[in-house]
Every structure is written in structure tokens, then in C-alpha cells.
């Protein structure tokens, strides 16, 4: 049995007395595409912020590829890529300039060559010399994904990656995630609201409600038990009540 790629142990976060995440414990195996579901303010983004070392947990810990997020954040940062919900880049710089900057920060040895490679991979080489100030949401999302995979991370964190995208954009992103997972073996950790995407993209899911983990299973077990997307939606709604939508930053 190999060690899990992401191992979370009693991870908790608190903001001025409000418990945003309550002793979350779970593990995600290498090569999984993990879907993290939950209502607004359930603690999904808070979890990603701690796993990506952007915020320190109030208590508990987690490890990514064997590196502890509190004790060794730099090693964690070397193995992860992160795409926030709203990708905002440097508007006055071109897509390539933005990506070369992030490649250099990630210690990529030949940034220009690697940027060209990644832009080709994401089928957006034509955007290379264009300033990102004029980009649509979908184009920004693609460049956002490009910056996250420049250093070939083992784990890719995506926070609401399909938020604000049109159906074409959603399909494009789903295909990309699939390719990154199958062709490059990346483990994907994805926060999402879209139930329909879960069955098409994920290999396992978990549901968070008011900071507590209420469900975690492999997608085959979920579909075997609940069947189609509509039933999956019923499951989600029953587990993640919308009564108290505390917006947690």
C-alpha cells in the first residue's frame, strides 16, 4: 500500500471565533481526480488555502506527496500547482510574459521553451504575444491553468475552475483536466459546485457541510448507489443544506 498523495489529519481553521473547517480528516490517492463539494462558506476554499500553504491551519495538519504543509511548506509548493477561482494575471503583460515570470519563480530551467510547450499543450499558442488585459474569462482560465502546470506539479488544486465559463469553456477545461490526469499522472483536487461535472471528471468525491466532512467515497460507489446525475444532486442537497450560507473569505 503506497502513501496517499494528500493526507489530511484533523485539519481545522477558525476566523474570529467562527469555525470554518472542523477537524477534516481524509486522504486522496495518487492519480485521483478528486471533487470537493459543498455549499458557499462550507470551507472548501479554506481547505485549499491551507493545503496550498497560503494559510496556516489553526490546528491539525496535512501532507502533500509526503511533505508536511506546516513543517515544510517550500517542499509542498514545489509539488503543487494552484488555479484560484478568478484567475487574474498582470494585464499589462502578454500571456507569455506572465507565464515566463511564473516559470522563473517556480525554478523552471528553460522558461521560454517550457512556456511554448505548455501553450501548445493547452492549444493556446496564438495567445502568447497578446496582453492578458483583453482576455475573456475562458482565456484567462486557460492561461491560469498554464501557469499552474509549468513546473509539472504532482498535485493540481483547482478552486471552482468552471465558475463563470460557458458550456464550451467547461468542456474544454474538463478535457484538459482529463489529459493532465491521464497523460501526466497529475493528482487533481477540485472544488466545485457543478454536480454534472463530478460524474464526468472525478474518480472520488467528498461533501463538506458547515466545515464538517459529511461524505467521502469513490465515484463508482456513488454512481452504483445513486445512479444518474439527478440522484447525485439529491444526495448533495441532502448532505449540504443551504440554510446558513456564511461567506468565509
Give contact residues for other proteins (rule: CB under 8 A). Answer: 15, 49, 52-55, 74-75, 77-78, 80-82, 84, 86, 88-93, 97, 101-102, 104-107, 147, 249
Q: Which is nearer to other proteins, 92 or 238 (CB)?
A: 92
Torsion angle in degrees (nearest 10) through CA of 81, 33, 69, 61: 160
Please give the Cα distance from 210 to 24 (Å, whole number): 11
DSSP classification of residue 200? H
Q: Which is nearer to other proteins, 69 or 222 (CB)?
A: 69
167-184 and 137-149 helices cross at what angle (nearest 10)? 10
Q: Which is nearer to other proteins, 54 or 125 (CB)?
A: 54
Please give the Cα distance from 79 to 137 (Å, whole number): 26
Q: How many CA atoms lie within 13 A of 151 on its CB side?
A: 22
Q: Which of 195, 180, 185 is nearest to 226 (CA)?
A: 195
Q: How far is the CB of 249 from other proteins (least distance, A)?
A: 5
Residue 17, C-beta contacts closer than 8 angstroms, at least 6 positions apart: none
Q: Which is nearer to other proteins, 93 or 239 (CB)?
A: 93
Residue 109's SS3 state is: coil
Q: How far is the CB of 7 from other proteins (least distance, A)?
A: 19
Q: How far is the CB of 106 from other proteins (least distance, A)?
A: 5
Q: How far is the CB of 186 from other proteins (least distance, A)?
A: 15
Q: Which is nearer to other proteins, 146 or 205 (CB)?
A: 146
Q: How far is the CB of 182 from other proteins (least distance, A)?
A: 24
Amino acid at each position: 500500500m503506497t502513501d496517499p498523495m494528500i493526507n489530511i489529519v484533523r485539519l481545522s481553521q477558525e476566523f474570529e471565533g467562527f469555525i470554518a473547517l472542523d477537524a477534516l480528516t481524509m486522504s486522496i490517492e495518487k492519480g485521483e481526480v478528486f471533487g470537493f463539494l459543498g455549499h458557499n462558506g462550507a470551507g472548501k476554499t479554506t481547505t485549499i488555502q491551507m493545503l496550498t500553504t497560503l494559510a496556516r491551519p489553526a490546528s491539525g495538519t496535512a501532507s502533500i506527496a509526503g511533505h508536511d504543509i506546516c513543517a515544510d511548506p517550500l517542499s509542498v509548493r514545489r509539488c503543487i500547482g494552484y488555479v484560484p477561482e478568478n484567475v487574474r494575471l498582470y494585464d499589462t503583460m502578454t500571456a507569455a510574459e506572465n507565464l515566463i515570470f511564473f516559470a522563473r519563480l517556480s525554478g523552471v530551467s528553460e522558461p521560454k521553451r517550457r512556456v511554448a510547450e505548455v501553450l501548445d499543450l493547452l492549444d493556446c499558442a496564438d495567445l502568447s504575444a497578446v496582453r492578458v488585459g483583453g482576455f475573456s474569462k475562458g482565456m484567462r482560465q486557460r492561461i491560469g491553468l498554464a501557469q499552474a502546470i509549468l513546473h509539472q506539479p504532482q498535485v493540481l488544486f483547482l478552486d471552482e475552475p468552471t465558475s463563470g465559463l460557458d458550456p464550451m469553456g467547461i468542456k474544454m477545461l474538463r478535457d484538459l483536466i482529463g489529459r493532465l490526469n491521464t497523460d501526466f499522472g497529475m493528482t487533481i483536487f477540485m472544488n466545485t459546485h457543478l454536480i454534472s461535472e463530478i460524474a464526468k471528471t472525478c474518480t472520488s468525491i467528498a461533501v463538506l457541510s458547515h466545515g464538517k466532512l459529511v461524505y467521502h467515497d469513490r465515484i463508482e460507489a456513488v454512481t452504483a448507489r445513486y445512479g444518474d446525475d439527478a440522484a447525485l444532486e439529491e444526495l448533495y442537497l441532502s448532505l449540504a443544506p443551504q440554510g446558513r450560507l456564511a461567506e468565509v473569505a
